[in-house]
A and B are shown apart, each in its own frame.
Chain A
């Protein structure tokens, strides 16, 4: 089965700076990797999906990289704002086939300080 590691400790970033979150996985290479945002007591909200043949994906202030050699994805939020404070989850398809349920990391709690 897939194992996902995210820095579970809180990450404190000053407003305006770039926040970088890390997701490492073991075992098989996933067909795709996703990043979600989760606020307390709420379901995850989809942010970005990057496929195994893509190196980088951008969406507004968000950027995701995917290095299948290192088995790592980096998630960047540029010009961070206090409203970006939340838990960010990395998720992979569970079996590598791309059509199944997701395996989630524990998430990284991001705090943007004014």
Chain B
């Protein structure tokens, strides 16, 4: 149980285009989902916290107008990178916390974004 999927697993896009990444909890309801970003040889950095039905909370330094997060249901959160640029190329990972869990987070497999 507690499986989180992400789609796509990798994406290559041109500079200036927008890319949507989906995060799904497959066998549990996730009231809270988190989005992280990881650059090569670096730690995972929390970008934002997403609660179902409400606006996401962004970490300092993360542009909310560039990284649009929607958590429309208890099993799906999406991250849209708008007007992507090469510096946005990174490994994006989501995690989900179950409604009945205080602090256990389950991570997705990640999405590799490459912006040309």
Given contacts A101-B34, A101-B46, A104-B44, contact A46 B110 (CB under 8 A): no
A/B pair count, beta carbons within 8 Å: 55
How many residues of chain A have a CB within 8 Å of chain B? Answer: 25
Fill in one digit per residue for B37-64: 1 if any A CB lies within 8 Å of its CB, else 0.
0000111111001000000000100000
Number of B residues whose C-beta is below 8 Å from A?
24
Please, how many angstroms separate the alpha-carbon atoms of A105 and B49 in the complex?
A: 19
Q: Judge whether B49 and A44 touch: CB under 8 Å.
A: no
Q: Determine, out of B14-22, B67-75, B80-88, B98-106, the stretch whose residues face the partner at the interface.
A: B98-106
Within 8 A of B (CB), among A37-76: 41-46, 49
- A105 CB contacts on chain B under 8 angstroms: 43
* Chain B binding surface SS class: strand
Question: Is there contact, CB below 8 Å, between A98 and B46?
Answer: no
Q: Is the CB of B107 within 8 A of A43?
A: yes
* A89 contacts partner chain B, Cβ-Cβ < 8 Å: yes
Contact indicator B106/A49 (Cβ below 8 Å): no
Q: Known A98-B102, A99-B102, A101-B34; judge A45-B46 contact (CB<8 A).
A: no
CA A106 – CA B103 in complex, angstroms? 21
Pairwise interchain contact B93-A44, C-beta atoms closer than 8 A: yes
Interface pair A106/B110, CB less than 8 Å apart: no
Q: What A residues does B7 contact at CB under 8 A? A: none
Chain B nearest Cβ from A69, distance in angstroms: 22
A1 CA to B103 CA, complexed, in Å: 19
Residues of A within 8 A of B (CB): 4, 31-32, 36, 41-46, 49, 89, 91, 93-94, 98-107
